């Protein structure tokens, strides 16, 4: 019994975090926050609980609060990547562009291959006026993803900056047709 006491203690917290995630899925953010806070009261330094609360705050557009919880999660478990992504996205929304780039880069180093990470880092670079870094990330993004609003944004910027020529094949439409820059002008 002594060996499992700590597991029994956090069982309640885990159940509250699961309820919180279910409420987030239903967009019942008040109930989600209540459940997550109950869990965090039991284990205030729980990485998963802090990340779930950050996601809840992010879903509500409360990016300052999302950043607070994701940064706390990063301090609790610095090897994990998800808190970096949330911190990056929240920093981007708060126009803290250097922090956004740093967090997306840290996420990509820990868990490479997520094209959205590359896109959002490129977007942060774009907002900073760092076109060369933005173009590098947008090109990498388009090498993995060639459809959707983000692909269209990346492609449009690359054409505007002269990286791609107008008419050069780019992202595809929902129907599967390759779109060229001239189609979007």
Q: Over the stretch 2-11, which tens digit does the pLDDT of each residue have?
A: 566 666 678 9
pLDDT on residue 184: 38
Query: Do residues 101 and 121 lie in contact, with contact meaning Cβ atoms separated by under 8 Å?
Result: yes
174 vs 71 pLDDT, higher one: 71
What is the predicted pLDDT for the residue at 1? 57
Average pLDDT over residues 150-156: 94
Per the prediction, the chain carries an average pLDDT of 90
CA distance 10 to 37: 13
pLDDT score of 183 more than 50? no
What pTM does this model have?
Answer: 0.84
CB 52 within 8 A of CB 16: no
pLDDT at 7: 67
> Cβ(137)–Cβ(145) under 8 Å?
no
Residue 182: per-residue pLDDT: 42
47 pLDDT higher than 70: yes
CB atoms within 10 A of CB 103: 30
Cβ atoms < 10 Å from Cβ of 160: 13
Cα gap 44→83, rounded to integer Å: 16
**Quick check: 46 and 38 in contact, CB under 8 A?**
no
> pLDDT digits over 72-106, tens only?
999 999 999 999 999 999 999 999 999 999 999 99
């Amino acid at each position: 019994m002594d060996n499992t006491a700590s597991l029994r203690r956090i069982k309640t917290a885990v159940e509250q975090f699961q309820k919180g995630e279910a409420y987030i899925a239903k967009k019942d953010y008040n109930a989600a926050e209540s459940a997550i806070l109950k869990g965090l009261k039991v284990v205030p330094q729980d990485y998963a609980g802090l990340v779930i609360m950050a996601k809840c705050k992010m879903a509500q557009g409360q990016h300052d609060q999302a950043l607070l919880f994701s940064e706390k999660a990063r301090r609790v478990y610095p090897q994990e990547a998800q808190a970096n992504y949330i911190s990056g996205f929240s920093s981007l929304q708060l126009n803290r562009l250097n922090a956004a780039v740093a967090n997306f880069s840290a996420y990509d180093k820990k868990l490479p291959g997520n094209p959205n990470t590359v896109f959002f880092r490129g977007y942060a670079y774009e907002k900073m006026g760092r076109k060369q870094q933005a173009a590098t990330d947008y090109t990498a993004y388009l090498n993995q993803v060639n459809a959707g609003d983000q692909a269209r944004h990346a492609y449009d910027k690359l054409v505007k900056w002269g990286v791609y020529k107008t008419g050069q094949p780019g992202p595809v439409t929902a129907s599967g047709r390759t779109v060229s820059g001239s189609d979007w002008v």
